[in-house]
Amino acid sequence: MRVDSRAVSVPLGVVLLFAIVMMGVAVVVTVGATALDDTRGQMDVERAEKILTQFDSKSALVALGETESQGVTLARDENAQFSLDDDAGWMNVTVTDPANDTVEQVVNVSLGAVKYENGRTTLAYQGGGVWHSTEGGARMVSPPEFHFRDATLTLPLISVDGDRSLDGTARVSKRAATGIRYPNTTTSPRFENPLEDGVVNVTVQSDYYRAWGNYFETRTDGNVSYDAGRETATATLVVPFNEGFDNIVATTEPGGIKPSNKNSKVPEPSETGVAYPLADSRIESQVEECETNPSACTNVSGDVTITSPGTYYNYQKFGGNLDVQNPGGNVTVVVEGNFQPSSVEIDITDEHTVTVLVRKSFSTGENSVNGDGDDDDLGDDADDLVVAMHSDGAFNGNGKFRFVGLLYAPGSDCNLNGGGGHKYENVIGGVICEEITINGKPNKFVYDDSIENVDMNLDGDETKITFLHVTVNRVEVSD
């Protein structure tokens, strides 16, 4: 008997159609369940963000003295929970004095963190801020207690510890009296405002250090560095340097002006133990800029004549004549080696300056630097020329030498061996060194107050700070 194939195909088609429908249902259920879980997880995270933001607000009330304690209701689900890690992260604040290379630690405190973990997402309250971390990185939900405005940094550090497991309602209580770390006149040295000189570094170590650093950048004009290995971000703030050049000779070393014999006298006005920052970093960065970016500097060697503004780079010893004639703007000459000019002649308008950055030593021999030696002319204005020296080098002027300008070498030894029958002034303007040895007779020095107009831009583009306020506020979180 022959079987009709069409009779078999009908029930087979029904079976196949049923299988396809069931497979579609399974896919829809699976995808829908996954999407539902993702949505639920996202909602849990959003809810936790709101809870930690509320926790942030109430903790600030307690930490900053508005109230003794506050309660916060914490949500909990099967896949996530709140916990406290009192070892999570730290913050360090230091003040560095570049003049004597000392670092004073203002505070070094563990921050701690209240955390919410849900799968690969972590939220945390830390340092008065709320942070959101995923595999893609960290971001800030609400800002920490770091307030910088008008050259004033106010830093009320909040440190948390307490019960590690948190469920239901958490209570935030004041753990200790507020500790005022800066200003503080009981320390040695005294921490006083306004800051007179130095650099303030604020370093935070955290799982969320990148987000911390991003916030620092928005508050401090981007002067932030990162260390991925240590998971730290550091904000650098520089105390503005008051460029007061009101002496013919001055030293950063107390008692640093040393006449070598009875015929050598200390010229007036003079001062020792003055806090002048080094020019090292500016010189090093300018040398690096000229080496790595040739278009930023014009290479020169031998006898050099400059007639236009800009930066000029000598990558070896400079031993020729330097002649600057009506450039129409400021001129910077970068000398990577020793600066031993045969002569320096400058013709420049009052509002412009020639600055020579010397990486090694500066020696005039018996030559004239920006002074023609005419009996009726003391040379050009002293503020026309600034020679800034790296602390690796030394200055030597001998015999009939003549220097008209500002010599800025706060980390260098300087030898002013004048005299030698010269009837005119050896130095007109001002000299700043670490130590100055004065030798010879006669030594003729004339202070020129035009150097008060010099702006060396030693602060660079760093963020300026004048007032610092740091307190430590400890709170305890109990379940």
What stretches of 120-241 adopt beta strand conformation (E)?
A: 121-126, 129-134, 137-142, 147-149, 152-162, 165-166, 169-174, 179-182, 199-205, 224-227, 232-238
What stretches of 246-391 adopt beta strand conformation (E)?
A: 249-251, 257-259, 270-271, 298-299, 304-306, 310-314, 321-325, 331-335, 343-347, 354-358, 362-365, 368-369, 385-389
How do beta strands 270-271 and 463-464 pair? unpaired
**Closest residue by Cα to residue 395 from 387, 386, 385:** 387
pLDDT digits (tens, 9 = 90+) for 398-407: 888 889 999 9
pLDDT confidence of residue 366: 84
Helices (H) and strands (E) in the chain, counts: 3, 35
Integer Cα distance of 122 and 249 in angstroms: 60
Among 37-41, 112-116, 128-132, 372-376, the range scoring the smallest mean pLDDT is 372-376
The whole-chain average pLDDT of the chain stands at: 85
Integer Cα distance of 81 and 116 in angstroms: 6
The residues near 461 (Cβ < 8 Å, ≥ 6 apart) are 221
The residues near 116 (Cβ < 8 Å, ≥ 6 apart) are 45, 48, 51, 52, 80, 81, 82, 122, 123, 124
pLDDT confidence of residue 7: 54
The residues near 341 (Cβ < 8 Å, ≥ 6 apart) are 318, 319, 320, 321, 322, 364, 367, 369
250 has pLDDT over 90: yes
In 3-state terms, what secondary structure has residue 140?
strand
Integer Cα distance of 362 and 365 in angstroms: 9
Q: pTM for this structure?
A: 0.66
* Contact assessment for residue 289 and residue 267, using Cβ atoms and an 8 Å cutoff: no
Domain boundaries, the chain: 46-240+464-478, 249-453
pLDDT digits (tens, 9 = 90+) for 368-385: 899 764 544 444 579 999
